[in-house]
């Protein structure tokens, strides 16, 4: 082939390549400008709260605080004294179970579960019965590790941090328990898209608090390291002394959801707690029930 | 414009290499600019990425453009010839070097988890990119700055 012809072909190929790249970039740009409501629940990157630092005020709405009418929400939170469990074995329990931060750190979502039932369909009578229901649900849904903590009037169980999709569904292993967003297959559309648009990772820690005492959340949220450490920092099982305690009337099982986000655009080791407290944030937060449904815990707990 | 099978016209060789380098540079710059604009690269890391990228391209592109500018007003094409072997070495060395740069950018998700880690890898990549760039600059520098004319057919 003559030399000049080779050069011509090379030039055409190059022009074609540039045109394809420009077209792809334009396509991506159009994709990112989807009409709100036409896409599945996506998370935009708005003003998200940093992991540390005080939160200026409590949010309203789904995360309304559980203050009694006499208590002013604006009053600074004092570290509440942790009352012992209504049982003579409480001192032993306090020795075995580490204390969960109290009041609990600010969560991304919170929901009080409807009444739980044991595997036999009966109402739980003791803390042990409740623990059996929760443990079974956590096992069924693939949460390996969990840690037990003491809370005023009951106990808390924290599940392992998992990676989730933007809609709250748990990722399949091994990405589920990885702290980095999974890399799409090379030469796939997602890989190409990830080149230009940052891949966000979403992570969730579920904490169940079983207690007969109402509580509010602390204004500040936990750091990623703190939340990741909860399953390992707690006791591996509920002590028999606690498990055998009868449930107080009016007890509640509250699920606290701590959702974090990181991004490949910068430093993916920097996690941000998604919190409803962020004023002006454009992040679409999932409700506690959505999280529990998407994780499979809702069904595993026998809730309908 | 070829002399037998062993030489190629210098103008022709320069044009081909200039096309290769300019097109590759445009593609690379467009890709990185798009990554910066669309948020693929965090704003806080964008400057570091460009600080790594520009020195890998600008010296060679600068030599090429200055030569093209210098020869743009010559009334007659140069009769100088260059050995095809030498031209091929220059061409494929350029392709290899530019492909390394493009691959470092396009396959960054396979190289590192995030931009911060990728930047760290880019700094390390200078260990092998710098010597290759040196060879490329040497070969292209001679090809583009040599003003020696050989009579055709000699």
Q: What's the average pLDDT block by block, 10 residues per block, for chain A (304 residues)?
A: 67 70 66 44 41 34 34 40 46 70 90 80 84 90 89 91 89 85 82 82 92 88 87 88 83 91 77 74 78 89 81
Which residue intervals of chain A are DSSP H helices? 3-32, 90-96, 127-140, 189-196, 224-233, 240-243, 288-295, 297-300
Q: What pLDDT is stored for residue A1 in this prediction?
A: 60
**Residue B125 vs residue A275, higher pLDDT:** B125
Hey, CA dihedral for B33, B37, B43, B45, is it positive or negative? negative
Contact of A7 with chain B, judged by CB distance below 8 Å, is answered with yes
Contacts of A22 in chain B (CB under 8 A): 30
Q: Cβ B109–A183 below 8 Å, yes or no?
A: yes
Q: What pLDDT is stored for residue A285 in this prediction?
A: 84
- Nearest-by-CA chain B residue for A15: B23
Contacts of B28 in chain A (CB under 8 A): none
Q: Residue A165, SS3?
A: coil
Q: Confirm if B16 and A7 have CB atoms less than 8 A apart.
A: yes
Contact of A178 with chain B, judged by CB distance below 8 Å, is answered with no
Q: Cβ B115–A184 below 8 Å, yes or no?
A: no
Which of A3, A22, A263 is the closest to B2 by Cβ? A3
Distance from CA of A258 to the nearest CA of B (A): 23
Q: Cβ B39–A265 below 8 Å, yes or no?
A: yes
Q: What pLDDT is stored for residue A68 in this prediction?
A: 35
Residues 6+ apart with CB under 8 A from A289: A111, A298
* Structure token digits, residue B82: 């260059």
Integer angstrom CA distances of residue A269 from A202, A261, A282, B67: 12, 10, 22, 47
Interface test with B, best of A198, A269, A272 (most B CBs within 10 A): A198
- Nearest-by-CA chain B residue for A8: B16
Contacts of B88 in chain A (CB under 8 A): none
Contact of A17 with chain B, judged by CB distance below 8 Å, is answered with yes
Interface test with B, best of A264, A268, A272 (most B CBs within 10 A): A264
The model carries a pTM of 0.68
User: How do the residues of chain B divide into helix, strand and coil, expressed in percent and rounded to 5?
Assistant: 75, 5, 20
The pLDDT mean for chain B works out to: 86
d(CA B44, CA A189): 26
Q: Cβ B42–A14 below 8 Å, yes or no?
A: no
What confidence tier does B79 reach under pLDDT thresholds 50, 70, 90? Answer: confident
Q: What pLDDT is stored for residue A149 in this prediction?
A: 93
Q: What pLDDT is stored for residue A33 in this prediction?
A: 53
- Nearest-by-CA chain B residue for A182: B113
Q: Cβ A265–B19 below 8 Å, yes or no?
A: no
Question: Counting one residue from A and one from B, how many pairs have CB atoms under 8 Å apart?
Answer: 94
**Residue B61 vs residue B152, higher pLDDT:** B61
Contacts of B27 in chain A (CB under 8 A): 14, 17-18, 21
Which of B8, B34, B108 is the closest to A25 by Cβ? B34
Q: Cβ A266–B40 below 8 Å, yes or no?
A: no
Contact of A119 with chain B, judged by CB distance below 8 Å, is answered with no
Residues 6+ apart with CB under 8 A from A198: A45, A263, A264, A265, A266, B39, B40, B42
* Structure token digits, residue A287: 């409700």
Q: Cβ B27–A265 below 8 Å, yes or no?
A: no
Interface test with B, best of A17, A30, A263, A267 (most B CBs within 10 A): A267
Contacts of B26 in chain A (CB under 8 A): 18
Which of B8, B109, B116 is the closest to A194 by Cβ? B109
């Amino acid at each position: 082939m003559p030399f000049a012809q080779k050069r011509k072909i090379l030039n055409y190929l190059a022009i074609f390549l540039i045109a394809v790249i420009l077209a792809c970039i334009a396509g991506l740009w159009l994709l990112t400008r989807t009409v709100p409501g036409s896409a599945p629940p996506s998370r935009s990157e708005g003003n998200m709260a940093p992991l540390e630092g005080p939160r200026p005020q409590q949010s309203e709405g789904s995360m309304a605080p559980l203050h009694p009418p006499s208590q002013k929400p604006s009053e600074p939170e004092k570290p509440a004294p942790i009352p012992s469990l209504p049982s003579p074995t409480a001192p032993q329990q306090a020795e075995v179970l580490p204390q969960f931060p109290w009041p609990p750190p600010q969560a991304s979502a919170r929901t009080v579960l409807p009444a739980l039932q044991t595997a036999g369909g009966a109402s739980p009578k003791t803390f042990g019965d409740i623990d059996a229901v929760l443990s079974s649900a956590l096992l069924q849904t693939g949460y390996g590790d969990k840690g037990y903590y003491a809370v005023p009037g009951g106990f808390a169980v924290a599940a392992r941090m998992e990676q989730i999709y933007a809609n709250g569904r748990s990722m399949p292993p091994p990405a589920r328990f990885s702290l980095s967003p999974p890399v799409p297959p090379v030469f796939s559309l997602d890989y190409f898209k990830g080149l230009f648009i940052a891949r966000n990772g979403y992570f969730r820690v579920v904490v169940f608090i079983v207690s007969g005492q109402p509580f509010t959340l602390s204004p500040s949220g936990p750091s990623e390291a703190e939340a990741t450490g909860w399953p390992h920092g707690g006791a591996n099982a509920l002590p028999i002394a606690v498990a055998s305690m009868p449930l107080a009337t009016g007890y509640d099982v509250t699920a606290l959801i701590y959702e974090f986000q990181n991004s490949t655009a910068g430093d993916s080791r920097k996690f941000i707690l998604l919190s409803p407290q962020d004023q002006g944030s454009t992040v679409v937060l999932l409700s506690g029930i959505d999280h529990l449904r998407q994780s499979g815990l809702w069904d595993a707990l026998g809730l309908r | 414009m070829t002399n037998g099978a062993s030489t190629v016209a210098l103008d022709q060789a320069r044009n081909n290499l200039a096309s290769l380098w300019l097109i590759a540079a445009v593609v690379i710059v467009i890709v990185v600019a798009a990554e910066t604009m669309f948020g693929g690269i965090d704003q806080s890391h964008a400057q570091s990425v460009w600080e790594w990228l520009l020195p890998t391209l600008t010296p060679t592109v600068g030599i090429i453009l200055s030569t093209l500018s210098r020869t743009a007003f010559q009334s007659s094409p140069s009769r100088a010839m260059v050995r095809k072997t030498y031209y091929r070495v220059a061409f494929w060395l350029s392709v290899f070097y530019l492909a390394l740069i493009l691959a470092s950018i396009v396959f960054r998700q396979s190289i590192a988890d995030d931009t911060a880690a990728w930047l760290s890898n880019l700094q390390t990549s200078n260990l092998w990119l710098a010597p290759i760039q040196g060879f490329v600059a040497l070969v292209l520098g001679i090809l583009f700055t040599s003003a020696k004319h050989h009579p055709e057919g000699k």
